[in-house]
Copies of this chain bind each other. A is one copy, B any other.
Amino acid sequence: MFSRLNKSASMRSPLRLISNHIARSSVSARQTTSVVSPLATLSSSGIRVSWPEGGESHFHNIWLRDHCRCPRCLHQVTRQRLFDTFSIPDTIKPSNIDWDDQGLRIRWGESDHESNFRWPWLRSNSFTSQTPSQSIPIPSNKILWGKEIAQNPPTVSYQSVMQDGEEGIRKWLDYIDSHGFCYVTGVPVSPEKTEELAKMISHIRMTHWGGFWDFTADESRGDTAYSNLALRAHTDNTYYTEPSGLQMFHMLEFRGKGGESLLVDGFQAAKILKEKYPESYEILSTVRIPTHAAGDDGFLFQPTPNPGYPILNHGEGGELYQIRYNNDDRSTMRHLPYEQVEPFYTALKRWSAILTDVGSEYWRQLTPGTLVVFDNWRVLHGRAAFTGYRRLCGCYISWDDYQSRLKVARLKTNNKQVKDVI
């Protein structure tokens, strides 16, 4: 930015120079501005920008100084702040501003520093109010589904993931992002090759259950997952502060009956709950659920902070971003006031009824060679009871590692760099 403006100085459109004095009073300066270029004026503590497409943004002087994009203030590779925020005088003001159709240049009064901001950066970083949404708070890029997804489930091939570079990864992770799950077909039936595939996303998340698993129903661990019992739709790791983001399962061998795998779109279920019973949606978005994992000697997991997290978790803007639900791992609800007991259990019952509705449940028998990866913050999983020998391998991947890989694949396949988005 710095060098760009300097290099192109002779070529750029005539500068609009405004001193502190002129900016506050000069109407003529504003009138000469081209209609396609934004217009900047000084306010008592910041700079107002009128956008040619309409609307105005107001940037505070302290904010602008703190967000200077120059190489002395911001490391151009790590995007870490080099500038000392705490050296900004409370009364900081520009001594001069000027702009062209590319961006805004600020000369700071109490130092010799100059900051340059490109208009698109200012536009995209102008304050936008995050009013909690009153409508269904599910991000618009999510494709919700019920049992009909069985007819055309998101699927990529092993070959595409392993050999198509960033395009192959992006396609795979885009499906997980939009649908909450994706199959990979044609996977070699071996734990080693399955692990190799997982590592195309990221290192594997190590937990007290281990890293990469290869297990049978041998009751070796203190959890019903290691039994042959039916498991209702649930998310994993509700007892951790941060549940795993992705879960991968590859059925290596099965000689027996039953054991079909169940997937349920938790976002779709949340949408239905909100539409039918908004008061129950509110309860499951606010009542915290204490949980625990305590079945193995030497471990006792409970999330922080006490008493845990709600089933439906929302961001500041009201968007649903995470479902945490395993009724079996729910601990004593000692923090529930008497008068909330009935509304809470009613809400839980409605939620369970939606999850177990035949229209919500997507059943499929996993077979060797076809692996499933799902978003454990959105899609609930379960299985039918089974008899016989069933060998499954798989792993967890952390949410952040998955999200990082997805962002990078999108940047690379769009020929963008980190500095374009941070």
Q: A interface vs B, CB < 8 Å?
A: 45-46, 58-60, 62-63, 66-67, 75, 77-82, 85-86, 88, 90, 124-130, 202-206, 208, 222-224, 240-242, 288, 292-295, 298-307, 313-317, 319, 321-322, 327-338, 341-342, 345-346, 348-349, 352-353, 399-401, 403-404, 407-408, 411, 418, 421-422
Question: Quick check: A400 and B301 within 8 Å, CB to CB?
Answer: yes
For A78, what are the chain B residues with a Cβ–Cβ distance below 8 Å?
Answer: 222-224, 293-295
> 8 A-B Cβ contacts within 8 A?
A62-B341, A67-B332, A80-B295, A85-B352, A124-B334, A294-B422, A301-B403, A302-B403
Closest residue of B by beta carbon distance from A242: B242
Closest residue of B by beta carbon distance from A303: B400
Question: Quick check: A295 and B334 within 8 Å, CB to CB?
Answer: no
Distance in angstroms between the alpha carbons of A143 and B345 in the assembled complex: 40
Question: Quick check: A222 and B329 within 8 Å, CB to CB?
Answer: no
Q: How would you classify the secondary structure of chain A's contact residues: helix, strand, loop or mixed? A: loop
For A421, what are the chain B residues with a Cβ–Cβ distance below 8 Å?
Answer: 300
Known: A341-B62, A401-B208. A305 touches B319 (CB 8 A): yes
Question: Quick check: B241 and A404 within 8 Å, CB to CB?
Answer: no
For A408, what are the chain B residues with a Cβ–Cβ distance below 8 Å?
Answer: 298-300
Closest residue of B by beta carbon distance from A401: B208
Question: Quick check: A63 and B223 within 8 Å, CB to CB?
Answer: no
Question: Quick check: B305 and A314 within 8 Å, CB to CB?
Answer: yes
For A82, what are the chain B residues with a Cβ–Cβ distance below 8 Å?
Answer: 328
Q: How far is the CB of A59 from chain B (nearest CB, A)?
A: 8
3 closest A-B pairs by beta carbon, nearest first, are A305-B315, A78-B295, A60-B341
Which of A62, A79, A126, A293 has the largest number of chain B CB atoms within 10 A?
A: A79
Question: Quick check: A206 and B205 within 8 Å, CB to CB?
Answer: yes
Distance in angstroms between the alpha carbons of A130 and B346 in the assembled complex: 23
Known: A78-B222, A127-B336, A205-B206. A321 touches B294 (CB 8 A): no
Closest residue of B by beta carbon distance from A295: B78
Q: How far is the CB of A305 from chain B (nearest CB, A)?
A: 3
For A90, what are the chain B residues with a Cβ–Cβ distance below 8 Å?
Answer: 342, 346
Question: Quick check: B404 and A336 within 8 Å, CB to CB?
Answer: no
Question: Quick check: B332 and A305 within 8 Å, CB to CB?
Answer: no
Other-chain residue from B224, B242, B288, B404 in contact with A300 (beta carbon distance below 8 A): B404
Q: How far is the CB of A400 from chain B (nearest CB, A)?
A: 5
Distance in angstroms between the alpha carbons of A345 and B86 in the assembled complex: 9
